[in-house]
Amino acid sequence: MDRDRVGVKLLAAFAALALAGAAAPSAQLLREQAWTAPGQSLAHDLTHAPGECLAGRSAEIEIGRALFRTPVLLGGPAARAGLSCHACHSNGGVNSRFLLPELTDRPGHADVTSEWSSRVRGDGVLNPLPIPDLADVSQREVFGHLREPSLEAFVRSVILDEFQGEPPPAQAFEGMMAYLRALQSDACPGGEAAVTLASAADDVRRAVAAAEGADAETARLLLLAGQDGIGRLVERLPAQRFDRERRAFERLARELGALRTAHDLDGAMAAALPGWRARFDAAVARVARREARTYFSEATLRKALRR
């Protein structure tokens, strides 16, 4: 299939997901509830993640980091459900509470030969394996259950075969490689990291900043990653209390979407992003004053989950 037509279809599909700030099913408050084990610790699990063991912050690494957190590189049902690499490998570690019925029957495991996610790999048997920690992944001799000979071969196999994604642009793929190589155990901060308004906003800012230094094809994916990050932020704002703020963020997401269609993308970003950043920062500041009432707060989320 022609790369340009693939790109247009890919961007259109994920724009719909990213702009749906409350994209989760109506019975769920957050998208990630669909793949998080239920139980007494659910509110804690949805507001915390392993600390990120990242040994560097180069432009290449930032490209990979942003794409690691968005469904844009995956394909098929997994991408439509909002899954990303980050869903299983939270901050590059292990999501020990990952539990998606289509992929596993026990938390912290995933079936890499599931027919749900892949017509290529599917074997008709539910046989989930423990999700591996990606810290020091570049130092391994073989990769994955197929024992791929290189990290590059393994990642291509995951994207193309395990999840039926399209071949990513060269710069996007190299960014993913750089991010994975930068996950080092000696850079681990120790303990959990809270999922906060500041961390969610930082993910958006970093994706957009990475787009500015990327080639056009990769930049469009990174702007989409920024949109998706805004979607994840918006769904943590209760609609009744934060209607105005949600609408402001949704406008900001649409602005990023409009940039993706620009013929001269570099010029369009140079002209638009300074003002966009000011509006984004102002929107974040308005929410920050009431963050305790959002679903970034474990207590607020727990109360909402009980309703």
Output the pLDDT for position 3: 42
CA-to-CA dists, residue 15 to 58, 139, 169, 226, 252, angstroms? 27, 36, 18, 10, 13
Q: Phi/psi at 175 (nearest 5 deg)?
A: -65, -40
DSSP labels, 228-279: HHHHHHHTTS-TTTSHHHHHHHHHHHHHHHHHHT-SSHHHHHHHHHHHHHHH
E strand or H helix at 193? strand 192-194
| Partners of residue 36 on adjacent β-strands | 98
pLDDT for res 145:
66
Domain extents for the chain? 48-192
Top CATH class of 48-192 equals mainly alpha
**pLDDT (0 to 100) of residue 150:** 87
Instruction: Spell out the per-residue pLDDT of the chain, length 307, in tens.
Output: 344 444 444 454 455 455 544 445 557 899 999 999 999 999 999 999 999 999 999 999 999 999 999 999 988 888 889 999 999 999 999 999 999 999 999 999 998 888 888 777 778 888 899 999 999 999 887 777 667 778 998 899 889 988 888 999 999 999 999 999 999 999 999 889 999 999 999 999 999 999 999 999 999 999 999 999 999 999 999 999 999 999 999 999 999 999 999 999 999 999 999 999 999 999 999 999 999 999 999 999 999 999 8
Helix (H, G, I), strand (E, B), or coil: what is residue 192?
strand
The pLDDT value recorded for residue 75 is 84
pLDDT at 117: 81
Taking the CA of residue 42 as centre, how many other CA atoms within 13 Å lie in the half-sphere pointing to its CB?
21
pLDDT of residue 26: 52
Residue 54 φ then ψ, to 5°: -105, 115
Question: What is the predicted pLDDT for the residue at 298?
Answer: 99
The pLDDT assigned to 123 comes to 81
Q: The whole model's pTM is what?
A: 0.91
pLDDT of amino acid 279: 99
Q: 10 Å Cβ neighbour count for 285?
A: 11
Q: Assess contact for 187 and 54: CB atoms under 8 A.
A: yes
Q: Which two tokens stand for residue 126?
A: 């539910």
Q: How many CB atoms lie within 10 A of CB 278?
A: 10
Q: Locate tokens 């395990």: which residue?
A: 162
Structure letter (DSSP) for residue 214: S
